[in-house]
Structure formats: structure tokens, C-alpha cells
């Protein structure tokens, strides 16, 4: 799962990165709101954690803009303790709110709860269940193989982004895979037979992307 953590305290970022990576998350960090937005527009995240008080775009403004673009889970961190502040955070679109100081394990628990609530994505008649590692079309299990599921997962979590054959091989088959890049084309063809032709777009000479034209 991909998580973006934005905080202007470098030591805090370092500590949180270590905890989240230990739990198996893929972590990106940003030192201010603008840097967080730049990453947000480049990559799809399962969870974004924002500190309220940051330079170049505070957590509230950043949260509000992110929620206007995508329904990504967002957790706000703050030293503020007034009830009114919590209301402001929730009205800005935050899915959860945690007051400082806190133990990183508490944040991890909150993060896992939020991510679990977002374990199923729907695209038209296609449902991707990340927990069950299954793909459904019109509620019918497509009996996707492990590679087919991981291929769809990789493309869907980078929706709209072109991934080359090499990138797909590294992320789906693994960095130690030894084989032809054309094996990606074979599996893409099989996936299209199951999910439909229109979800995966071919970019000749470049790679593939997941496109949701039903939005």
C-alpha cells in the first residue's frame, strides 16, 4: 500500500517512514503542503497523512484540494486541541484526526483501519478486491491468476499513468525476473479477455495505462 506523509519536521518524517516501512507500506514523504500536492498529482496513494501546520500550504488547504480531486483517505496530524479545530479538519474532508503528541504505533493502527476501509475499488462493472486478491466483473469472479491480479492492481493503482513493460516486469514479476519483456503483452491480452478491452490502453512504443473512461 502506498502512503504519503507530509510534515515539516524532518525528524518526525524519518521516524514515521521507518515505522510505516516496517509494516510493509511504500512510503513517500514531503516537507510542506505544496510538495505533498506535487507528489499527489504524480502518483495514486492509498493514504495521505498531513500535518496541519506546514509551510507552503497548510494541512487543511492541502486536504481540501486533494479531496476535490480524488477520494483518497486522509489523516490529519495536529498539535491543536480545541473541538472546533477537529470540526474544521473533518469539514475539510479529513477521514481521521490525531492530536500530537502521539505514539507512532497509534498512528499505524489508525492508518491500517483507514486503508482496510478502502480495500475494494470499483471501475464501472469491474471490482478489484485487494484483500481477497480477486477481480470481479458484474459480481462474477474472473478467476484471475496471481500475475493477472497483480498486473491489474499495478495498473489501477497508477490510473492514467503510462507504465513501461520494464516497469511492469519489475513491479509484478519482481526485480530478479529473467525473461522477455513481451511476456507482459501476453498477460495484458489475457487480462483484457477477462475485464474487457477498454480498461487497459496501449501506448505504442511506450507501455500501458489503466483508463477509467466511465468517470
Pair 52, 58: CB distance under 8 Å? yes
Strands 2-6, 200-203: pairing kind: unpaired
Q: Which domains does the chain have, with CATH numbers?
A: 2-116 (3.40.50.2300), 120-210 (1.10.10.10)
Compute CA distances 62 → 20, 73, 120, 161, 179, whole Å: 22, 13, 25, 22, 43
* Inter-helix orientation angle 59-69/33-42, to 10°: 20
Averages of pLDDT over runs of 10 residues in the chain (215 residues) are 89 91 88 92 88 83 87 85 77 87 90 77 86 89 94 86 90 82 94 94 94 65
Residue 81: the pLDDT is 67
SS3 38: helix
Q: What is the pLDDT of residue 187?
A: 96
In this predicted structure, what is the pLDDT of residue 72? 84
Strand intervals (E) in 12-133: 26-30, 47-51, 73-78, 96-99, 120-123, 126-129
Q: Which of 204, 212, 207 is nearest to 162 (CA)?
A: 207
Q: What is the pLDDT of residue 170?
A: 87
Residues 12 and 4: beta-carbon distance below 8 Å: no
Q: 197-201: which pairs have CB atoms within 8 A and are 24 or more residues apart? A: 199/123, 199/126, 200/155
pTM of this prediction? Answer: 0.57
The predicted structure's pLDDT at residue 16: 93
Q: ∠ at Cα 70 (169, 210), nearest 5°? A: 30
Amino acid at each position: 500500500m502506498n502512503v504519503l506523509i507530509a510534515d515539516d519536521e524532518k525528524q518526525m518524517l524519518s521516524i514515521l517512514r521507518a515505522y510505516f516501512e516496517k509494516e510493509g507500506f511504500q512510503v513517500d514523504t514531503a516537507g510542506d503542503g505544496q510538495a505533498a500536492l506535487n507528489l499527489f498529482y504524480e502518483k495514486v496513494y492509498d493514504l495521505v497523512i498531513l500535518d496541519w501546520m506546514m509551510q507552503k500550504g497548510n494541512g487543511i488547504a492541502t486536504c481540501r484540494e486533494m479531496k476535490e480531486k480524488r477520494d483518497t483517505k486522509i489523516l490529519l496530524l495536529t498539535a491543536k486541541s480545541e473541538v472546533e479545530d477537529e470540526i474544521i479538519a473533518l469539514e475539510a474532508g479529513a477521514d481521521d484526526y490525531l492530536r500530537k503528541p502521539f505514539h507512532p504505533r497509534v498512528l499505524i493502527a489508525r492508518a491500517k483501519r483507514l486503508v482496510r476501509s478502502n480495500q475494494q475499488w470499483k471501475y464501472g462493472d469491474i471490482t478489484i478486491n485487494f484483500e481477497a486478491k480477486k477481480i470481479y466483473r458484474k459480481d462474477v469472479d474472473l478467476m484471475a491468476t496471481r500475475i493477472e491480479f497483480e498486473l491489474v492492481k499495478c495498473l489501477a493503482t497508477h490510473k492514467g499513468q503510462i507504465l513501461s513493460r520494464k516497469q511492469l516486469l519489475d513491479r509484478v514479476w519482481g526485480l530478479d525476473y529473467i525473461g522477455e519483456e513481451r511476456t507482459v503483452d501476453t498477460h495484458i491480452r489475457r487480462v483484457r479477455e477477462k475485464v474487457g478491452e477498454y480498461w487497459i490502453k496501449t501506448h505504442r512504443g511506450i507501455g500501458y495505462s489503466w483508463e477509467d473512461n466511465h468517470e
